[in-house]
Amino acid sequence: MTNNYYPFFNLPLPYDYSALLPFIDEKTMELHHDRHLQTYINNLNATLADYPQLQELSLVQLIQNAYRLPEPLQTNIRNNAGGVYNHRFFFHGMIPPGSSDNLPQRNLAQEIDRQFGSFAAFRESFQKSALSVFGSGYAWLVVCRGQLMIITTANQNSPLAQNLCPILTIDVWEHAYYLKHYNLRTDYIDDWFHVINWQAAEKNYLACMHARA
């Protein structure tokens, strides 16, 4: 992803709004990207406008250092920088169905089998975590000290603030699925598994392991 420094702008999706059909509907993708993400971008730019020293920090650095800032600046940075990063990561973690095999690849596949026993077991654990999010938030697959871990974050909190390295994520805010699935989050999670970009997840995993080396 590019545009990592202020001023931030809304990067185009790497696919058409309708590209994830029938699993994620066109209208949801349009609203999610053009309105929800755009709002976080606008708010982040507005928050940074009067702080030249913060404008020099990357999006990742803003998230990692938000706890050092005074309130309410800390809250604004955490919510809005997190909202930009998390949405971008989520959108780039999906791919049109049929574009590739719908399974983890190579190194990540081996590590999932080693740590979870099988892809089916991993999928079950990940789904349980995504369903466990109370209200709004995300479920993530991350690297922690060289090991895979499934975690959840509330609202727009990011694993980056915990020094964790993200591999993939699902957005379980209701606006991510309500137009198609109403309150049936389980159905949305099942559909999301059909559009995971496992090639991107493999690259993220290798980057996480390389950064740790």
For 184, the domain range is 106-212
**65: part of which helix (H) or strand (E)?**
helix 59-65
Judge whether 1 and 92 are in contact, CB under 8 Å: yes
User: Are 72 and 167 in the same domain?
Assistant: no
Tokens of 26: 């066109």
Confidence (pLDDT) at 99: 78
User: Are 88 and 110 in the same domain?
Assistant: no
Beta strand extents in 39-110 (DSSP E only): none
CATH code at position 192: 3.55.40.20
User: Are 135 and 196 in the same domain?
Assistant: yes
Looking from the CA of 48 toward its CB, the CA atoms found within 13 Å total 26
Measure the CA–CA gap between 67 and 28, rounded to whole angstroms: 32
Domain count, the chain: 2
**Domain contains 99:** no
CATH code at position 64: 1.10.287.990
**Domain contains 74:** yes
Judge whether 174 and 136 are in contact, CB under 8 Å: yes
What is this structure's pTM?
0.96
**Domain contains 98:** no
Where does a domain end: 92, 120, 143? 92
Tokens of 148: 């895979």
**Domain contains 185:** yes
What tens-digit pLDDT sequence spans the chain (213 residues)?
A: 689 999 999 999 999 999 999 999 999 999 999 999 999 999 999 999 999 999 999 999 999 999 999 888 999 999 999 999 999 999 999 999 987 778 898 999 999 999 999 999 999 999 999 999 999 999 999 999 999 999 999 999 999 999 999 999 999 999 999 999 999 999 999 999 999 999 999 999 999 998 865
